[in-house]
Amino acid sequence: MGDIILSGGEMGALMLLDACIRLLPGVMGAPSSGDEESFESGLLEYPHYTRPQEWEGRTIPEVLRSGDHAKIAAWRKSQSEIDTRLRRPDLWERHNGVRD
C-alpha cells in the first residue's frame, strides 16, 4: 500500500481483498486486462489520455492519435521507463537488474 496512515483497518482490508480478487479468472473481464498495469512488468504504467484532444493546455501526444499500434506500444514502453526512472528509482534499478 505504501507509507500511509489510516484511521482504521477497513480500507487496508479492502485494498488487500481487491488485490486478491482481481486475480480470479473473469473478475476483470478479459484475461489480458491487467497485463499492462503498474508493477506487472516491473515498471510503472504509462500515462493515459482521453478526449478532448486538448484540455487545460495539455494535448494528447500525436503518436497516440496516429493509429500506428507499433509506435503507440513503443511510446507507452518509453513513457513507462521514463516515469519509473524518475518516480521510482528503486523499481528502475530492480528492472534493470533483471535485464542485465
Sign of CA dihedral 15, 20, 21, 23: positive
Domain that holds residue 6: 1-34
Predicted local confidence at residue 97, as pLDDT: 80
The CA distance from 91 to 71, in Å, is: 25
- Cβ neighbours of 92 (radius 10 Å): 19
Predicted local confidence at residue 73, as pLDDT: 94
Q: Which set of grid coordinates corresponds to residue 8?
A: 482504521
Name the residue among 38, 60, 34 with its Cα closest to residue 49: 60
Predicted local confidence at residue 23, as pLDDT: 86
Q: 95 and 82, same structural domain?
A: yes
Q: Which set of grid coordinates corresponds to residue 25?
A: 479468472
Q: 51 and 6, same structural domain?
A: no
Q: 1 and 44, same structural domain?
A: no
Residue ranges of the chain with per-residue pLDDT less than 50: 100
Contact partners, residue 5, CB within 8 Å, separation at least 6: none
Q: 48 and 25, same structural domain?
A: no
3-state secondary structure of 16: helix
CATH number at residue 86: 1.10.1270.20
Q: 23 and 67, same structural domain?
A: no
Q: 15 and 48, same structural domain?
A: no
Q: 55 and 12, same structural domain?
A: no
Q: 22 and 2, same structural domain?
A: yes
Q: 40 and 21, same structural domain?
A: no
Number of domains in the chain: 2
pLDDT digits (tens, 9 = 90+) for 41-60: 889 989 988 889 888 988 99
The CA distance from 37 to 42, in Å, is: 10
pTM reported for the whole predicted model:
0.69
Q: 40 and 30, same structural domain?
A: no
What integer best gives the mean pLDDT of the chain?
87
- Cβ neighbours of 25 (radius 10 Å): 6
Predicted local confidence at residue 100, as pLDDT: 45
